[in-house]
């Protein structure tokens, strides 16, 4: 017997479990010792997702576009790794936010949650784009939507990393390092978009 799980229902349960007890409010003092490890894991996972893996997968798709199906599967595989890192990073960030009562009162957590929620739909848009492309062998409106939707959200994710470092009162050296790496990769990403489409 086959079962179908509606993605909207599935992810509503995921987000409900991540953000349960939000309304209780207040800092969870008993869990404060856990914050440094959760925060570090959150930063590493999200940094890898938004500064390395997701833009890297998009760049490789453009570079390998002449390789046909190989390019598509490389792109899908890399982006799914980024997607898993992003979801895991969200879970760690939600734990920090719950402990410190910072889930809904700052730009970083609000923008980050919105970006992640919107990126949850990106695989569906990619599938719809690919299905249409396979049927027509032409890029259509869904192609443009999928590509630009992803580009904008990846760049917003990179920007949100800076907001997160500010919120965490990161060291000036850490801020500079993130800024340089994100800036170089972001500029490369934009250059590839402009040069290769």
**Residue-wise pLDDT tens digits, 157-183:** 999 999 999 999 888 998 999 999 999
pLDDT at residue 138, rounded to an integer: 85
Nearest to 83 by CA among 116, 108, 61: 116
pLDDT of res. 81: 98
Query: 10 Å Cβ neighbour count for 143?
Result: 17
Work out the number of other CB atoms within 10 angstroms of the CB of residue 26: 7
Residue 130, pLDDT score: 87
Q: Cα separation of 39 and 167, whole Å? A: 11
**Residues found in the chain:** 197
pLDDT in tens, 119-144: 999 999 999 988 988 888 888 899 89
Q: Is residue 88's pLDDT more than 70? A: yes
pTM above 0.85, yes or no: no
Cα separation, 63 vs 60, in Å, equals: 5
**pLDDT tens by residue, 37-50:** 999 999 999 999 99
- pLDDT of amino acid 148: 93
């Amino acid at each position: 017997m086959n079962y179908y799980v509606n993605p909207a229902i599935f992810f509503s349960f995921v987000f409900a479990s991540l953000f349960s007890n939000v309304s209780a409010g207040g800092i969870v003092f008993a869990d404060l010792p856990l914050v440094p490890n959760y925060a570090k894991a959150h930063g590493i996972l999200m940094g890898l997702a938004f500064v390395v893996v997701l833009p890297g997968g998009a760049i490789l798709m453009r570079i390998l576009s002449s390789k046909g199906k190989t390019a598509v599967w490389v792109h899908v595989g890399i982006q799914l790794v980024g997607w898993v890192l992003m979801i895991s990073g969200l879970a760690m960030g939600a734990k920090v936010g719950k402990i410190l009562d910072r889930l809904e009162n700052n730009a970083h957590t609000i923008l980050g949650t919105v970006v992640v929620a919107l990126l949850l739909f990106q695989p569906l848009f990619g599938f719809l784009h690919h299905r249409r492309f396979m049927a027509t062998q032409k890029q259509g409106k869904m192609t443009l939507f999928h590509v630009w939707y992803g580009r904008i959200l990846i760049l917003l994710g990179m920007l949100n990393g800076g907001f997160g470092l500010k919120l965490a009162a990161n060291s000036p050296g850490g801020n500079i390092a993130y800024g340089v790496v994100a800036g170089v990769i972001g500029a490369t990403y934009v250059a590839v978009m402009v040069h290769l489409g």
